[in-house]
Structure 1
Amino acid sequence: MPRSLLPLLMALTLGACAAPAKPGCDRAVARELATLATLIDETEANLDNGYRVERAPARSGFNLCLGSARSHVGISFCTEPASRTQTVAIDPEAEARKLAALRERRAALLAAHPTCGAPE
């Protein structure tokens, strides 16, 4: 899976945990509006910062450990935690286009489903 899809996948996952739908609003539409709100906020923050923060892939491997006052001689298997993050430069023009597309999608959903209203 390309790393550029990871933030979208995370946002969609978080969107599934969104607040309950407003009365008269289709649950799937409310979930999509919540996801769009999250993505819009994230994209705006990326534009403000000039970079985005994403999870770095976990790295694992074998280490040869030599004896010292704190450790023993031997080989160990080490894995870095998966929660490590890294900053990645963005293309401001592409990010602005992405933001415009997200806002356009939100406006289209709200126009098609007026009972849903703006996500809170």
Structure 2
Amino acid sequence: MELLIALAIGIVFGSGIWLILRPRTFQVLTGLLLMSYAVNLFIFVMGRLWIDRPPLTPAQAVPDPAMVADPLPQALVLTAIVIGFATTALYLVLMIGARGVTGTDHVDGEEPDQ
């Protein structure tokens, strides 16, 4: 299971890097989103991956810290999702404004000569 998650995180992060290196602003924005998703997934996985374990502890039992998931990575990922949404909205507004000013969505501001 850990190998599968590690490969998925690596593929998503690698796809994000590939998109960041593209010449269009929308592709750069999509690459940033993919990289943030990969990092969020990595942080979330740090809280442990378990199969066939209950997510909650019984009401009368004292929870064993070794047997429950760590809530800190979950809180960090939730915060990162909110911050990522806000920065994506900001980048989108800047991208639309730059397209209106320059007339192109190329990252250099002008289309290269073929």
**Both structures adopt the same fold (TM-score exceeding 0.5):** no
- Answer with 1 or 2: which has the greater Rg: 1
Category of TM-score, reference length = shorter chain? 0.3 to 0.5
Give the TM-score of the pair, scaled to structure 2.
Answer: 0.35
**Higher helix fraction: Structure 1 or Structure 2?**
2
Give the TM-score of the pair, scaled to structure 1.
Answer: 0.34
Q: Using CA pairs below 8 Å that are at least 6 residues apart, which structure has the higher relative contact order?
A: 1
